[in-house]
Amino acid sequence: MAKVKTLDDLKKMRADLQSKITLRENSDRPEKMVQIKVSMATCGIASGAKETMNYLIEELDNRAIDAVVTQTGCMGYCHSEPTIEVHLPGNDPVVYGNVDVKKAGEVITKHIVGGELLDGIIPTNYTTPDEDNQK
Amino acid sequence: MDIVKLNIDNKPVVVEKGTTLLDAAKSVGVDVPTLCHMKLHDLNVENNPGGCRVCVVEVEGRRNLAPACKTECTEGMAVNTHSLRVVNARRTVMELILSDHPAECLTCVKNGKCDLQTMAQDLGIREIPFEGEQSCYKEDKSPAIIRDVDKCIMCRRCEMMCNEVQTVGCLSAINRGFESVVAPAFEMDLEKSTCTYCGQCVAVCPTGALSEVDNSRKVLNALVDTTKTVIVQTAPAVRVALGEEFGMEPGNIVTGKMASALRKLGFDKVFDTDFAADLTIMEEGTELLGRLQKHLAGDKDVKLPILTSCCPGWVNFFESNFPDMLDIPSTAKSPQQMFGAIAKTYLADKMGVKREDLVVVSVMPCLAKKYESGRDEFKVDGNPDVDLSITTRELAQMIKGANINFGDLNDEEFDNPMGESTGAGVIFANTGGVIEAAARTAYEVHTKKKLEKVEFEALRGFDGIRSATVDFDGLPIKIGIAHGLGNARKLLEDVQAGKSEFHAIEIMACPGGCIGGGGQPYHHGDTGILKKRAAAIYREDEGKEIRKSHENPFIVKLYDEFLGEPCGELSHKLLHTHYFDKKKKVEIKND
Amino acid sequence: MAEIKLADSKVQELKDVCKKFEYDKGELINVLHAAQVIFGYLPAEVQEIVADELKVNIAHVYGVVTFYSFFTMTPKGEHPVSVCMGTACYVRGAEKVLDEFKRLLDVKVGETTPDGKFSVSSLRCVGACGLAPVVTVGEKVYGRVAPEDVKDILSEYN
Amino acid sequence: MAHYKNHILVCGGTGCRASQGEEIVENLKQAVADNSLENDIQVVRTGCFGFCEKGPIVKMIPDNTFYVSVTPEDAGEIISEHCVKGRKVERMLFTDPETKEHVSDSKDMGFYKKQIRIALRNCGFINPENIDEYVARDGYGALGKVLTEMTPEEAIKIIKDSGLRGRGGGGFPTGLKWEITNQVENDEKYVVCNADEGDPGAFMDRSILEGDPHSVLEAMAICGYCIGGSNGLIYIRAEYPLAIDRLKIAIEQARELGVLGKDIFGTGFDFDVELRYGAGAFVCGEETSLIHSMEGLRGEPTVKPPFPSVSGYKGKPTNVNNVETFANIPVIINEGAEYFASIGTEKSKGTKVFALAGKINNVGLIEVPMGITLREVIFDIGGGIKDGKKFKSVQTGGPSGGCLTEKHLDIPIDYDNLLACGSMMGSGGMIVMDEDDCMVSVAKFYLDFTVEESCGKCAPCRVGNKRLYEILDKITQGKATEEDLGILRNLGNVIKDTSLCGLGQTSPNPVLSTMDNFKDEYMAHVKDGKCPAGQCKDLMEYVISEETCVGCTLCSRVCPVDAIAGDKKQPHVIDTVACIKCGACMDKCKFNAISIQ
């Protein structure tokens, strides 16, 4: 470990280390940041959800966007896997279907950064099989 | 000087900053009772752990009661020493202390002299509302000191004396809470510890937890036994303190009354240890001069300084603390033992009494003398040179017990031949006295000139460590003096480190010397008493016709008739001794 | 007190500890901690060595050893049983558990069974208050112990 | 640097470790490896989460799933279900005792809802053995700020303005203490951290040291700068091996990083920290005792003044604060005095950590704002009384505190209010008692503790507490008289009034407060020879009801002394002479046939 010789050294070091625990800090106050849930059930994983998720995490981190990417169970849109739910603070959550790595990039650039909705939204009146069962 | 103004019991008080409430109250005539607190002014010794809580007083604005002994006066303080709250608290605390104290005052050695008993009386305690477990420890009976620590009230005075003043460090508080008590390591008997029997713990104990081994019954038994001839020797310090036990002012010299009382008690002969003190000077002085002359002649093997060896507490101290320096102290026995050795040979012959039928009793200001008289090297075929040693206090008790009105006694003289002494023998009782006595003789022997002034004022005083240079007609003799073993340790460590410049050092274990011995009447913390005793000793010296040991005619006769010359062959056999390494060692096994 | 002979190598280890602490009297408690690790307990002989090395009086060392409950002058049993008597454990019945250990082993608190197998002590709060009452046997922790469990716990070590 | 997508935080506090927390960590790591997820999932051993009742605890990041009562065998399932398949393992979720529903996020649990975490901010959040994680959380930033931007006086002013008071019990204003030590001239001064937590049933300080050791080190360095001292000493209980280990690691890492040692941040300020071990003496919580103990002496207190700030360790000015007090300091410096002072009551600012224990559903470590009520703590956070029993009393302040009752439940908790009720804040032990607890026995329990822990130096504490205990013992045996109650009260008051140190000055509180608040219970013991709670063995007998007993033999089998006889399917009988009144039979009986009379 290199010694910190000045307060600036410490600040630099902190900046470098910050990302190590932003995940934990963000999970404590998710309402204040972008939350993305990736459907990671068998169907999702089979359709490449894992790659999508990895891409999202890395890309958001590269762009220094405060976001929490979590996995979730099957959302019930098996026809449109991989599906992700994007929840911007203060807005209603939006679900996109068929999100491959390319689509994910667009979501970040246009929806999360730009604030505009993209094609491929699965309408909210669309109920999931689980919810159907409950009815 | 910073001044603080306050009110105690509505009386305005002005004191120096740093004064305790206890002293401030005393200055306006308010005596706050204390139990653990003890201040020995002239010795710079103070014990105030603030533990007994008997001295609590109410200070306006404070949440709790404050211990007067540990609370400094501050500007504008308003203090009440006897509010209801204080009275109730003080009495409750005393009741608590008494609830853990054996109620055996009738047979207690301290009955009538016990601070705790006095306090209970003063507070008017008639019953104790608490019942419950009482502390129970094993009694420890060493050759000189009895520890009956069920009676310990944890005032910690003994611990302070043993550690801070004497640096013997044999006592410490042990355990904790209700189980806590002051004891030697592993609660071992004192006999197995590094205790020197200096008795300073006994001298300050407010209760009967620490006391001397009482030999008065054995003395009575000897006196009653018609087959025995019982003689007594009395140490110089006894005559200036014994009177206190009979209500006399401290500093009264009662030599004549004492001799009278001893005869009335039935002793066959009443002698004086001072005689043996003169003898000690002859031997020790000769040894000093001998070593000095060899040293001056360039003999590298000779060890200087020479250390006095009259004090048995001191001897015990260096045997367990400085075993590497056993060859430095004088080999001369103490006066008590010289007396015994001469009594059981020369005197017994003269009196025509067999050794085993002669009982030598000593009256000493000292507890270590009890141990010393029992040392194996001071016995011949198991028969000790000194059979029984009692303290000033025990003698007083015997006189009272015999219904002798001490104050009304006429003065009587000691018997001869071992009752004649010089002023030099008398001053053995004071710190600096032994070395002054030695100087008087050594000067004249060495210079072959007569001293113009026998008082060596430079050697006197009360400071713990003193030094002076005495001019032996052009030869400067450097002398060191220490009283109290803590001070002795400092001088000894210098010697050990080769830093000491002294030719001779006098050491006495007890603060003030023998006048402050552990067997003297209790001073109850008033060191003014010690000073008065010391002054009386010098008065007694001044009143003596002969003031130099070598001029004592009976000493001269003793050498002529019996011993030959000082440090001669017979002297060596009878009047000199050797020392032992008493440091404890742990055994270790090989793996 | 039975006198014992200490092993040479352990004594040397202890002396090294004293040296490491530069024979500082103020480090007495740290030295005693180390000594207790080396010997398992603090018999008189060990205290004598510590006193000698640090140049403090043996009475003082003993005074310190007997003041602190962590120091012990008796060797612990092969399986030292400690019952937590923190308040949380107490109100959840630790005293009954302790009584049961004492009864079954026929020893008092702080004692070791004659065969040297178990010693029983109480301690103040292990900090596992969620598991109260808590018992430790050596390193092992038992939580939510009831008096009737005591027999089973002991049988694990028989 | 690996970029983990999931963090799994496993509680590494003493409590959870006692329930195989270590094995859980090992098994989780193994399961991660088995699924080849080493680059995605990081398993972190953190400090205490506080929710000890439900330990061991495992928290999943980033979705904040809070698994309780986890066993090592559950590790595989957590990885395969939660991490791989993205499904929460329902059976390990916390069940709300009232709604009976599973709660997945700790933020939604009653236990955490009312807590504010300042001193515990990093406990259960970072890996205490990794200084990087502390630095990432702005660690040592406060020290840097103080050293580079402030004079000692300015920093002290912030602490003063924050209103922080000593968390060890007494509640002395921390800033003022620093100021006094700062003003004493001396070339050598000491900063001492009192980590000799001795309260039976309190483990606040240990949890902080185990979970966030650096915050204490950082605060000590700040204190050193403020008072003008460069030596820090932590006096820690030897019975806290885990905390000691973590502190040693932290000190080593801090030295390596250069935030302890010489010339910190190039400012010329030196500061280093050493450990000193306590050896099991409660009285060493008293600062003068603590200092004597660090000097290698018996831990006996001395009369103050002189205060340690003037003459302390080795006779040098010494500032003693406890662990929790220190843990607040970096936050105060970073967030400002106003932030801290905005929490709490008029005279007690900020938060307080309590160790909540006893007959309560959610045992654990909590940090709450000053001014919260006991009711909120016990019923909202603590989840109410165990087994649906009735609340009887709550003891705060450990052996120095008192037992409060129903009527005190709505008083806002702060130093002064607790004192006014006859208890005290103490270091933060909070023990809840129910209808089955005998308050005389509880008082006796505390006095037993005090008697054992009294140092013996002063008479009222040495003998007085013993006598208090003996009188209480007499009461629990039904042998006391009303006169004894008078003696008990007077004795208690005198011990408080005359004892030398804080131990004796507060030790009668458990007695006096129970006498005040549970007078009837004392009278029942004394006048009627009855223990209403059925706890005092001498005042009760276990009896089997002939009508209700079905002769199932369960009781006779569980009886440790074979004092219950009876044939199968016949009513059983207890031999009252042989019975040791352990109560095992009553606990086991399924038919409520055994009662206490």
Query: How many domains does the structure of chain B reveal?
Result: 3
> What mean pLDDT is predicted for residues B23-33?
95
Please tell me the predicted confidence (pLDDT) of residue B588: 77
Interface test with D, best of A5, A12, A17, A36 (most D CBs within 10 A): A17
Question: For residues D257 and B84, what is the distance between their CA atoms, to the nearest angstrom?
Answer: 62
* Any B CB within 8 A of D43 CB: no
For D395-432, write each residue's pLDDT tens digit: 998 899 999 999 999 999 999 999 999 899 888 889 99
List the single residue in A with minimal CA-CA distance to D42.
A20
**Shared-domain flag, residues B122 and B153:** yes
| pLDDT at residue B508 tops 90 | yes
Q: With touching defined as 3+ CB pairs under 8 A, do chains D and C touch? A: yes
Q: How much is the ipTM here? A: 0.90
Average pLDDT over residues B162-185: 96
Residues 274-313 on D with a CB inside 8 Å of C are 276-282, 293-299
pLDDT digits (tens, 9 = 90+) for D431-489: 999 999 999 999 999 999 999 999 999 999 999 999 999 999 999 999 999 999 999 99
| Statement to judge: residues B305 and B292 lie in one domain | yes
Tell me the average pLDDT of chain B.
94
What confidence category does residue A135 fall into, taking pLDDT thresholds of 50, 70 and 90? very low
pLDDT band of D1, cuts 50, 70, 90? very low
Give the minimum alpha-carbon distance from C150 to chain B in angstroms, rounded to a whole number. 31
- D419 phi and psi angles, rounded to 5 deg: -60, -40
Do B138 and B28 reside in the same domain of the chain? no
Query: In whole angstroms, how large is the CA radius of gyration of chain A?
Result: 17
pLDDT at D301 over 60: yes
- Say which residues have a Cβ less than 8 Å from residue D323's Cβ, sequence separation at least 6: D167, D193, D194, D195, D197, D204, D205, D208, D209, D216
D153 in B contact zone (CB under 8 Å)? no
Span A30-134 CATH architecture: 3-Layer(aba) Sandwich (3.40)
Q: Do residue B282 and residue B240 come from a single domain?
A: yes
The predicted structure's pLDDT at residue A103 = 85
Over residues D484-497, mean pLDDT: 97
Q: Say whether residue D587 is in contact with chain B using an 8 A CB cutoff.
A: no
Angstroms from B162 CA to nearest CA on chain C: 11
Evaluate the omega torsion of the peptide bond into residue A82 and state whether it is cis, within 30 degrees of 0.
Answer: yes
Using CA coordinates, name the residue in chain D closest to C94. D582
- Domain end, chosen from B170, B189, B213, is at B213
Topology of the domain comprising C79-155: Glutaredoxin (3.40.30)
What's the whole-number mean pLDDT along residues B228-246? 97
- Band (pLDDT 50/70/90 cuts) for residue B44 is confident
According to the model, what pLDDT value does residue C1 have? Answer: 47
Q: In the predicted model, is pLDDT for residue B11 greater than 50?
A: yes
For chain A, the structural domain boundaries read: 30-134
How much is the pLDDT for A1? 65
With the C-alpha atoms ordered D258, D264, D268, D272, is the resulting torsion angle positive or negative?
A: negative
Lowest-confidence region among D74-83, D93-102, D109-118 = D93-102
D-chain CB neighbours of B89 within 8 Å are 494, 497-498
Is residue B583 assigned to a domain?
no
- D99 min Cα distance to partner chain A (Å): 20
Inter-chain CB proximity B132 and D466 less than 8 Å: yes
Chain D neighbors of B67, CB-CB under 8 A: 303, 500
The mean predicted confidence, pLDDT, of chain C is 90
Are B100 and D300 an interchain contact pair (Cβ–Cβ within 8 Å)? no
Rounded to whole angstroms, how far apart are CA atoms A65 and A34? 8
Q: Is D265 in Cβ contact with A6 (below 8 Å)? A: yes
Interfacial D residues in 275-314 facing B (CB < 8 Å):
281, 283, 298, 300, 302-303, 305
**Touching subunits for chain B (3+ Cβ pairs under 8 A):** C, D
pLDDT for D253 beyond 70: yes
D582 and chain C in contact, CB less than 8 A = yes
Q: Are residues B283 and B203 in the same domain?
A: no
pLDDT confidence bin for D3, thresholds 50/70/90? low
State whether C5 and B584 contact (CB < 8 Å).
no
The third-level CATH classification (topology) of the domain covering D6-110 is: Glutaredoxin (3.40.30)
pLDDT confidence of D87, banded at 50, 70, 90? confident
What is D131-341's CATH number, 3.40.470.10, 3.30.70.20, 3.40.50.10320, 3.40.50.11540?
A: 3.40.50.11540
Q: Where are the domains of chain C?
A: 8-67, 79-155
Residue C50 pLDDT exceeds 50:
yes
- D253/A6 Cβ within 8 A: no
In the predicted model, is pLDDT for residue A27 greater than 80? Answer: no
Predicted local confidence at residue D526, as pLDDT:
95
Nearest residue on chain A to D253, alpha-carbon basis:
A1
What CATH number is given to the structural domain containing B114?
3.30.70.20
Mean pLDDT of C80-88: 87
Between positions 566 and 585 of B, the ones with CB within 8 A of C are 584
Tell whether B129 lies on the interface with D, counting CB pairs under 8 A: yes
| Bigger pLDDT: D345 vs A132 | D345
Sign of CA dihedral B412, B413, B419, B422: positive
- In chain D, residues with a C-beta closer than 8 Å to the C-beta of B152 are none
Q: Are B518 and B510 in contact (CB under 8 A)?
A: yes
Of B58-72, D56-70, D278-292, give the lowest mean pLDDT range: D56-70
Q: How many CB pairs under 8 A join A and D?
A: 100
- Four-point Cα dihedral D523, D524, D529, D532, nearest 10: -150
pLDDT at A107 over 90: no
Closest listed residue to residue B505, CA positions, set B335, B278, B259, B284:
B284
Interface contact flag, A20 D1, Cβ < 8 Å = yes
Residue B434 falls inside a structural domain: yes
Q: Quick one: pLDDT band at residue B591, thresholds 50, 70, 90?
A: low
Residues of chain A contacting D133 with CB distance shorter than 8 Å? 17, 20-21
Show residues of chain A in contact with D140, CB under 8 Å. 10
Q: Structural domain of residue B159, as residue ranges?
A: 98-213
Chains contacting C (3+ CB pairs below 8 angstroms): B, D
- Does residue B69 lie in a domain region? yes
- Average confidence score pLDDT of chain D: 92
Which of D236, D298, D542 is the mutation pick for testing C, counting most C CBs within 10 A? D298
Please judge whether B591 and C7 are an interchain contact, meaning their C-beta atoms are less than 8 angstroms apart. yes
CB contact, 8 Å: D133 with chain A?
A: yes
Average pLDDT (D530-558) is 89
pLDDT over 80 (residue C129): no
Res. D155: pLDDT tops 60: yes
Which DSSP state fits B556? H
Q: Are strands D41-46 and D6-11 parallel, antiparallel or unpaired?
A: parallel
Q: Answer whether D375 touches A (CB < 8 Å).
A: no
Res. A30 pLDDT band, cuts 50 70 90: low
pLDDT band at D334 (very low <50, low <70, confident <90, very high): very high
- Any idea which of B194-198, B280-284, D378-382, D536-540 has the lowest mean pLDDT? D536-540
Alpha-carbon distance B133 to nearest alpha carbon in chain D (angstroms): 8
The helix (run of H) or strand (run of E) holding residue B557 is helix B553-558
Q: 């052996």: which residue's tokens?
A: D399
Do B208 and B225 fall within a single domain?
no
pLDDT in tens, D218-252: 999 999 999 999 999 999 988 888 899 999 999 99
Domain D439-528, what architecture? Up-down Bundle (1.20)
Confidence of residue C41 (pLDDT cuts 50, 70, 90): very high
pLDDT digits (tens, 9 = 90+) for A34-88: 888 887 766 777 777 778 888 888 888 788 777 778 777 666 676 777 888 888 8
Q: Are A66 and A34 in contact (CB under 8 A)?
A: yes
B174 CB near a chain C CB, below 8 Å? Answer: yes
Do B347 and B282 sit in the same domain of this protein?
Answer: yes
Annotated domain spans of chain D: 6-110, 131-341, 351-434, 439-528, 541-596
3-class DSSP assignment, residue B254: coil
Number of H helices, E strands in chain D: 25, 20
Whether residue B244 sits in one domain with residue B151: no
Domain ends where: B26, B55, B82? B82
In this prediction the pTM is: 0.91
- Predicted pLDDT of residue A78: 67
Confidence of residue A16 (pLDDT cuts 50, 70, 90): confident
Range from B89-98, C144-153, D140-149 carrying the lowest mean pLDDT: C144-153
pLDDT: which is higher, D180 or A106: D180
Tokens of C59: 């009475």
Per-residue pLDDT at D190 exceeds 50: yes
**Chain B CA closest to residue D486:** B129
pLDDT at B86: 97
Mode of pairing for the β-strands spanning B78-80 and B140-141? unpaired
pLDDT digits (tens, 9 = 90+) for B399-450: 999 999 999 999 999 998 999 999 999 999 999 999 999 999 999 999 999 9
Window 123-162 of D: residues touching C by CB (8 A cutoff) are none
Question: Min CA distance, B159 vs chain C (Å)?
Answer: 10
HSE (CB half, 13 Å, CA atoms) of B56? 33
Torsion angle of alpha carbons D421, C91, D322, D53, nearest 10°?
-110
Which site among D236, D295, D581 would you substitute to test the C interface, given the most C Cβ atoms closer than 10 Å to its Cβ?
D295
- Summarised one tens digit per residue, pLDDT across range B315-347 is 999 999 999 999 999 999 999 999 999 999 999
Nearest to C6 among B173, B184, B588 (CB): B588
Residue percentage of chain D with pLDDT more than 90: 68
Using a CB–CB cutoff of 8 Å, tell me whether A75 touches chain D: no
In this prediction, residue D15 carries a pLDDT of 79
Q: What is the pLDDT of residues B208-230, one digit of tens each?
A: 999 999 999 999 999 999 999 99
**Looking at the structure, do residues B508 and B556 belong to the same domain, yes or no?**
yes
Per-residue pLDDT, averaged over B442-467, amounts to 93
Torsion angles phi and psi, residue A50, rounded to 5:
-65, -45
**Given this structure, which CATH class describes domain D351-434?**
alpha beta
| Chain D contact probe: residue of A27, A43, A62 with most D CBs at under 10 A | A27
Q: How confident is the model at residue B486 (pLDDT cuts 50, 70, 90)?
A: very high
Mean pLDDT rounded to a whole number for chain A: 77
In chain D, which residues have their Cβ closer than 8 Å to the Cβ of B180? 455-457, 462
In the structure, do chain A and chain C come into contact, i.e. share 3 or more CB pairs under 8 Å?
Answer: no
Choice among B12-16, B474-478, D4-8, D67-71 with the minimum mean pLDDT: D4-8
In total, the C-beta contacts within 8 angstroms joining chain C to chain D are: 157
In this structure, the strands spanning A34-39 and A67-72 are parallel
Q: Is residue B88 part of a domain?
A: no
pLDDT at B304 (0 to 100): 86
* Catalytic positions of B: 284, 287, 310, 330, 369, 372, 377, 514
State how far the Cα of D344 lies from the Cα of D381, in Å rounded to an integer.
17
CB pairs under 8 A between B and C: 64
C-alpha to C-alpha distance for B155 and B152, rounded to whole angstroms: 8
